[in-house]
Amino acid sequence: MSAGLHEAPMTPILPGSTDTAGQQATLGVLGGGQLGRMFVHAAQRLGYRTAVLEPDAQSPAGQVSHHHIQTAYDDPAGLAQLAQLCQAITTEFENVPAQALQTLALTRPVVPGAAAVGIAQNRIAEKALFAACADKSGVSCAPYAVLETPAQLQAIQDERADLLPGILKTARLGYDGKGQVRVNTAGELAAAWAELGSPACVLEKRLPLVAECSVLVARGYDGQVVSFAPQRNVHVDGILAATHAYEGTMPPALAARARAAAISIAQHLGYVGVLCVEFFVIDDGIEYGGLVVNEMAPRPHNSGHYTLDACDVSQFDLQVRTLAGLPLPEPRQHSPAIMLNLLGDVWFDASGQPREPDWPAVLRLPGTHLHLYGKMHARAGRKMGHLTITGSDVGSVRAVARRAAGLLGLPGLDAL
């Protein structure tokens, strides 16, 4: 299988270079969210010009890019302009229309490719991929069944009691816990599926999670792979709340298995670019070997934001390097880190009144790195920014994170 494999560009796109027409090296990104913004920052630091295609006039990435093409993601004129401006193009969210990537790929290197993005867009295809990789990766996904037809519903109700209690997940467009319903009985399953409008879904067995982690991998056109050590993630209400990235946050044997599995999935896909693979660590150490692969994102990931401040090369640096065909050094983490996500809720007090978070108090704490994404309106659950805490040792990082969480009205660190 070679989904996402793109032929190597003839020559790397060197920082600061100009082409024969005198155009400065420009890198493009489809999508204008915070991941696009941090990609743009990384590209610009290396001296590239950048272009963002994003319909929203006030997007986080559009605000900071040299060029902002303000059209729909599948607008032919917008895509043509992006291809004309850029030597290579990436994407920052997986729900970009696969057709748009295919159109761009006719004239420019586009990584990750439409095929890999297409798999990540569809939980059914994603689980089939994980199942196909399981022998090589050594890690399976949760037991599941595909639910697309009334006959499949009946078959699950009759024969797959082992999947209950379970989680019904829409095959497409789910993120941050959206498009998911917890079901305990065959009757609840039928009702939940009907309530969703009977779209293509998977029903997944609900597993006794003891932890969650993710691994970021970067793979170049030439097949070279580098990766970060697994980081441990804490979700609240289905949304990432905190990431713990330091030695000892995961048992070393599990961490090594997760890292090897993520690398083997990237290799199996012939993937080019940055890939995030999410895992569950479960209670049942025998049946599932303790580690279960959950899902993947064909791009940098919220759980890798700490790499900006705690590593010598960040996930966004690696995204730029893979796209431009530059060398890929193995990243090194120089500080233990905790990342706290800043959702819109932080901009409201306990009684729901809008407030400005006490940034001076937060920034007075040692080793705090505040990243705000330039979003105009705070809403509950909306990702507005993140705060990374670094320090010389885990104990001091945890102590500062605890104080920062308290100042921001986040749950206590025991819950994070």
Mark the segment that binds ligand ADP (CB under 6 A) among 65-73, 109-117, 203-211, 249-257: 203-211
- Within 134-153, the residues that bind ligand ADP by CB under 6 A are 142
Q: Quick one: which of 72, 155, 194, 209 contacts ligand ADP (CB under 6 A)?
A: 209
Q: Which helix (H) or strand (E) holds 103?
A: helix 98-105
- Residue 195 near residue 178, CB atoms below 8 Å: no
Q: What is the CA radius of gyration of the chain?
A: 21
Q: Are strands 88-91 and 26-30 parallel, antiparallel or unpaired?
A: parallel
**Quick one: 59 or 294, whose CB is closer to ligand ADP?**
294
Shortest Cβ distance from residue 166 to ligand ADP (Å)?
7
- Residue 230 near residue 214, CB atoms below 8 Å: yes
**Partners of residue 343 on adjacent β-strands:** 383
Tokens 């001076």 found at: 360
Q: Is 235 in the site for ligand ADP (CB under 6 A)?
A: yes
**Quick one: 80 or 200, whose CB is closer to ligand ADP?**
200
Q: Is 165 in the site for ligand ADP (CB under 6 A)?
A: no
The secondary structure of residue 31, as a DSSP letter, is -
The sign of the CA dihedral 357, 358, 359, 365 is negative
Q: Quick one: which of 115, 147, 167, 362 contacts ligand ADP (CB under 6 A)?
A: 167
At residue 273, φ and ψ (nearest 5 deg) are 125, -165
**Quick one: 108 or 205, whose CB is closer to ligand ADP?**
205
Give the contact letters, 295-314, x = binds to ligand ADP (CB under 6 A), - = no.
x-------------------
Mark the segment that binds ligand ADP (CB under 6 A) among 59-67, 206-214, 223-231, 385-393: 206-214
Give the contact letters, 397-416, x = binds to ligand ADP (CB under 6 A), - = no.
--------------------
Q: Is 345 in the site for ligand ADP (CB under 6 A)?
A: no
At residue 185, φ and ψ (nearest 5 deg) are -130, 165
> 362: closest CA among 351, 374, 354, 370?
370
- How far apart are the C-alpha atoms of 194 and 25, rounded to whole Å? 51
Give residue number: closest CB to ligand ADP.
207
- Residue 234 near residue 416, CB atoms below 8 Å: yes
Give the contact letters, 271-290, x = binds to ligand ADP (CB under 6 A), - = no.
-------x------------
- How far apart are the C-alpha atoms of 332 and 312, rounded to whole Å? 6
**Quick one: 321 or 386, whose CB is closer to ligand ADP?**
386
The angle that helices 150-159 and 186-196 make with each other, rounded to 10 degrees, is: 160
**Quick one: 61 or 171, whose CB is closer to ligand ADP?**
171
Q: Quick one: which of 176, 345, 369, 394 contacts ligand ADP (CB under 6 A)?
A: 176
Interface contacts to ligand ADP, rule CB under 6 A: 142, 167, 169, 174-177, 204-207, 209, 212, 235, 238, 278, 294-295
